[in-house]
Amino acid sequence: MIPLSVLDLSVVTTGTRPAAALQNSIDLARHVDGLGYVRYWLAEHHNLASVASPAPDLMIGQIAAVTKNIRVGSGGVMLPNHAPLVVAERFKMLEALFPGRIDLGLGRAPGTDGATAHALRSRLDRREGDDFLERLSELVLWETRGFPAGHPYNNVVAMPDDTPLPPIWLLGSSDYSSELAAQVGMGFAFAHHFASYDAIAAMANYRSHFKPSGWRETPHGILAVAAVAAETDAEAETLASSMDLNRLRRDRGQYLPLPSVEEALAYDYTDAERASVMRNRSRLFVGSPATIMAKLQPMITASQPDELMIITAVYDHDARKKSYSLLADAFGLEKKVAA
């Protein structure tokens, strides 16, 4: 069966404050480490009331320290917000501390609104526009030491210099990202859970155009999907009601903590709002394990991912853990000895 991984947003709810959400992430990582999940990635978001972690590198170290088997990484570091040297140093440190267990996933977006993005970058430089490719090239050069002769950075070394950068993955939700990952020969993770671009086309484009590199000899595509599993379809639908209302509010620019099931079920939807929820449901897989497997299989067959990454953002932490347990059983994961 296809390997499973986790994408974690450290979800803040109306009943779980940000500090508790960070502790929940550590607890969930321990849980899925024992279930046989192969990867645990942390996202970077800023000024978003429903996401507690703006610094995945800090969370990676905390989670890697309390787990044993699972790879831990960023899903991802939003490279426009960071000097490439800083990213290189921090992930070399993580790789030195947890050799062979760290991933460096990179995103093109700032992961926030314009004002916050400016605050994050205002002391870095004043460049405008998309400079992701320039930053990615510089990050690679810190590893390869391939700066041109006479370049001032030739006298700067990213420490620890006896440790390589961990594997680099490019994150995306478009054809551009899949094409770039293929051209530079890196791993690729497609964000189906919020993308408007077709996942099947993105994965096929990546695989067909992949060029072997010093980073990877063969392509490796991860398909990230949102899923809510429960013992029954009805129970899963109830849990997903929080995500439905949260998504509706986000579409209106209301970035609030995840509402409770009770609040979501009591909400009086208009016909237009119900139609919007149904459109969003095309990116959310909800039901019993059998139902989710039946819904996911056509996409898995068509897109041929090497790995499936699951994001489950429900209100109740125990229900979230249960969802991952049910999916592990459904996909036949081999349980591991937890840390």
Structural domain boundaries enclosing 129: 4-230+285-331
Rounded to 5 degrees, what are φ and ψ at 203? -70, -40
Q: Which of 103, 106, 85 has the alpha carbon at shortest distance from 94?
A: 103
Q: 34 and 336 in contact (C-beta within 8 Å)?
A: yes
Residue 258 lies inside a defined structural domain of this protein = no
Residue 237 lies inside a defined structural domain of this protein = no
What's the CA gap between 315 and 21, in Å, rounded? 11
pLDDT in tens, the chain (339 residues): 899 999 999 999 999 999 999 999 999 999 999 999 999 999 999 999 999 999 999 999 999 999 999 999 999 999 989 999 999 999 999 999 999 999 999 998 765 677 777 777 655 555 666 789 999 999 999 999 999 999 999 999 999 999 999 999 999 998 899 999 999 999 999 999 988 899 999 999 999 999 999 999 999 999 999 999 999 999 999 999 999 999 999 988 899 999 999 999 999 999 999 999 999 998 999 999 999 999 999 999 999 999 999 999 999 999 999 999 999 999 999 987 654
Q: 43 and 56 in contact (C-beta within 8 Å)?
A: yes
**Helix locations, 229-270, DSSP H:** 233-251, 261-266
Residue 257 lies inside a defined structural domain of this protein = no
What was the pLDDT predicted at 213?
96
Residue 239 lies inside a defined structural domain of this protein = no
What was the pLDDT predicted at 16?
96
Residue 258 DSSP one-character state: B
C-alpha distance from residue 168 to each of 114, 189, 214 (Å): 26, 11, 11
Residue 129 lies inside a defined structural domain of this protein = yes
Residue 272 lies inside a defined structural domain of this protein = no
Residue 235 lies inside a defined structural domain of this protein = no
Q: Is the pTM of this model over 0.85?
A: yes
Q: How many domains does the chain have?
A: 1
What was the pLDDT predicted at 123?
55
What was the pLDDT predicted at 1?
85
What's the CA gap between 1 and 327, in Å, rounded? 12
* 333 token code pair: 């994961």
CATH number at residue 326: 3.20.20.30
Alpha-carbon dihedral 287, 291, 249, 239, rounded to 10 degrees: 10
Q: Which residues contact 56 (CB under 8 A, 6 or more apart)?
A: 41, 42, 43, 44, 73, 74, 75, 76, 77
Rounded to 5 degrees, what are φ and ψ at 4? -115, 145
Residue 275 lies inside a defined structural domain of this protein = no
pLDDT tens, position by position, 135-194? 999 999 999 999 999 999 999 999 999 999 999 999 999 889 999 999 999 999 999 998
